[in-house]
Amino acid sequence: MYEFSYSMPTTIITGHNCLVKNSKKLRKYGQRCLIVTGFSSSKLNGSLEDCILALENEDIKFSIFDKVEENPSLETVETAYLENRDKGIDFIMAVGGGSAIDAAKAMAILFRNNIPVKEILSLKNLESIPVIGIPTTAGTGSETTPYSILTIHEEGTKKNIGQKIFPEIAFLDARYTLNMPYNTTTSTAVDAFTHLVEGYLNTNANILSDTLAEKGLVLFGESLKSLQVSDCSIEVREKLLMASSIAGMVISQTGTSLPHAMGYALTYDKGLPHGTANAVLYPGYLKCFKKTAKLSRMLELIGVESIDALSIIFRAILDFKIELTESEIMKYVESILSNEKKLKNHPERVTRDDLIFIYRNILKK
Ligand code: NAP
Ligand code: ZN
């Protein structure tokens, strides 16, 4: 018997120039918009210009906050809110990578509730003003997930703020990802891959999330072949963006699993980009599975013959350097074990030794 509920409220609009072509869809969200973006990339890849054009077409007034850093902090969310709270902001357009979209979701909660920023971590089920997601990386899928991952410096880590903010619309235009450097392209692409895998090999997986994950894995596998020969054409970009948004839909249902829980420390302490931080944990993570039927199917779908072969590919396409001491490994393992929620999505029993094994088998160059 199938027992699950499935909800994906985000409207997805894809295609070249889809934002400007569909600017009418913005009318119903109000008369005053805040555009939230990173420091520079959206000014160079055409996404910010299109966003402004779409708003001007509809006579919607706007302000711009262009100071979202990578792995955005609670402080940045607060700054954007304080700078704009008296402007009557009706909705937010988030233009950029996962950092801009995640920060925008948290800001959208503050605009709706007018609360001190820290309360977004403690209060439950907070509503937000509408968010429109325009991704310019192809990896996080934040445009189709309800999650917002912020850096909480007081706790020395990154975490999901625990609210549910699905963007109202995701505009997917792969042209914005065309000038992304190769290293950012690969580190974000493997993030999408890890979402697909962790959603597929997950306690909460169901027939619908698996159907999406399987299609996403095929698209990722085709793109992986191109990335290995540095083919980053628009066709490859389109596949990666679609795989990434599909992966977002998958983890919206299932959540992520061990590598995401274990990778945040590698971003916070070692500075690895988010996707790479997860991917380096994959050799150990995949080898931990005792039941391997679905794991074998995953490898088949991406067209890679073994875990070792996948590790060789990741080593070749990702740019990273990482060393972990035994005492760091033990500290990270204890931190994961102290929060049972971090283990519950893994469909098999997880022991301390499993976690140590995963960190010790970290991918090295
Ligand atoms: P990002 O941190 O948003 O951006 C990384 C870098 O790429 C930035 O320097 C950015 O520059 C640049 N960039 C963005 N688009 C570009 C483009 N088209 N061309 C050239 N450079 C570009 O990277 P991300 O991997 O997309 O997002 C990572 C964040 O998302 C992490 O905080 C992670 O925890 C979170 N995440 C969230 C979810 C979710 O479901 N909400 C899922 C996975 C990960 P600018 O600053 O100049 O824009
Ligand atoms: Zn991720």
Structure tokens at 16: 């070249």
R_g of the chain, CA atoms, integer Å? 20
User: Which tens digit of pLDDT belongs to each residue from 316-358?
Assistant: 999 999 999 999 999 999 999 999 899 999 999 999 999 999 9
The residue whose CA has the least distance to atom 19 of ligand 1 is 180
The pLDDT of residue 7 is 93
Nearest CA residue ID for atom 48, ligand 1 = 38
Q: What percent of the chain lies above the pLDDT cut of 70?
A: 100
Ligand 1, atom nearest to 149 Cα: 34
The residue whose CA has the least distance to atom 28 of ligand 1 is 98
CA 70 to ligand 1 center in whole angstroms: 6
Q: What is the pLDDT confidence band of residue 217, given thresholds at 50, 70 and 90?
A: very high
Nearest CA to ligand 1 atom 44: 140
Q: Whose CA is nearest to atom 20 of ligand 1?
A: 180
**pLDDT, tens digit, 9 for 90 and up, residues 69-88:** 999 999 999 999 999 999 99
- Average pLDDT, stretch 194-221? 98
Can you give the pLDDT at residue 18? 98
Give yes or no for a contact between 186 and 317, defined as CB atoms under 8 angstroms apart: yes
Q: Which of 2-6, 126-130, 254-258, 301-305 has the lowest mean pLDDT?
A: 2-6
For residue 32, report the distance from its CA to the centre of ligand 2, in Å.
31
Ligand 1 mean position, distance from CA 254 (Å)? 22
Work out the average pLDDT over 95-114.
Answer: 98
Instruction: Count the Cβ atoms, other than its own, within 10 Å of residue 339.
Output: 11
CB atoms within 10 A of CB 296: 11
**Residue 365 confidence (pLDDT) above 90:** no
The answer, yes or no, to whether residue 240 has pLDDT greater than 90, is: yes
Query: What residues line ligand 1, using a CB cutoff of 6 Å?
Result: 38-42, 45, 70-71, 96-100, 102, 136-137, 139-142, 145, 147-149, 158, 176-177, 179-180, 184, 188, 191, 274-275
131-135 vs 169-172, strand pairing mode: parallel
Minimum-distance ligand to the CA of 191?
2
Residue 112 pLDDT > 90 = yes
Answer whether 219's CB lies under 8 Å from 152's CB. no
Query: How much is the average pLDDT of 62-70?
Result: 98
Mean pLDDT in residue range 274-280 = 98
The confidence score (pLDDT) of residue 295 equals: 98
Q: Which class for 72: exposed (0-12), middle (13-18), buried (19 or more C-beta within 10 A)?
A: buried
**Given a cut of 90, is residue 1 above it in pLDDT?**
no
Measured distance CA(324)–CA(2) in Å, rounded = 43
Q: What is the mean pLDDT of the chain?
A: 97
Residues 191-208, mean pLDDT to the nearest whole number? 98
Around Cβ 87, how many Cβ atoms within 10 Å?
Answer: 14
Q: Is the pLDDT reported for residue 279 higher than 90?
A: yes
Q: Which of 73, 183, 184, 234 to mutate to test the pocket of ligand 1 (most atoms within 8 A of CB)?
A: 184
Q: How many other C-beta atoms are found inside a 10 Å radius of the C-beta of residue 308?
A: 11
Closest residue CA from atom 2 of ligand 1: 70
C-alpha 27/C-alpha 104 separation (Å) is 19
> d(Cα 65, Cα 75) in Å, to the nearest integer?
14
Atom of ligand 1 nearest to the CA of 177: 18
Residue 110: per-residue pLDDT:
98
**What are the b/e assignments for 18-33, b being 16+ CB within 10 Å?**
bbbbebebbeebeebb
C-alpha torsion 96→100→101→106, nearest 10: -170
Atom 31 of ligand 1: nearest residue by CA position: 71
The atom number, within ligand 1, closest to the CA of 101 reads: 41
Ligand 1 centroid–CA 9 distance in Å is 23
Contact between 299 and 310 (Cβ < 8 Å): yes
What percent of the chain lies above the pLDDT cut of 90? 98
Q: Which residues contact 70 (CB under 8 A, 6 or more apart)?
A: 38, 97, 99, 273
C-alpha 329 – ligand 1 centre gap (Å): 27
- Which pLDDT band, with edges at 50, 70 and 90, does 361 fall under? very high
Give the distance (Å) from ligand 2 centre to CA of residue 257: 10
Predicted confidence band of residue 166 (pLDDT cuts 50, 70, 90) = very high
Q: How confident is the model at residue 33 (pLDDT cuts 50, 70, 90)?
A: very high
DSSP state of 307: H
Which residues touch 36 (CB under 8 Å, ≥6 apart)?
Answer: 65, 68, 80, 92, 93, 94, 95, 96, 100, 103, 104, 107
- Residue 70 Cα to ligand 2 middle (Å): 13
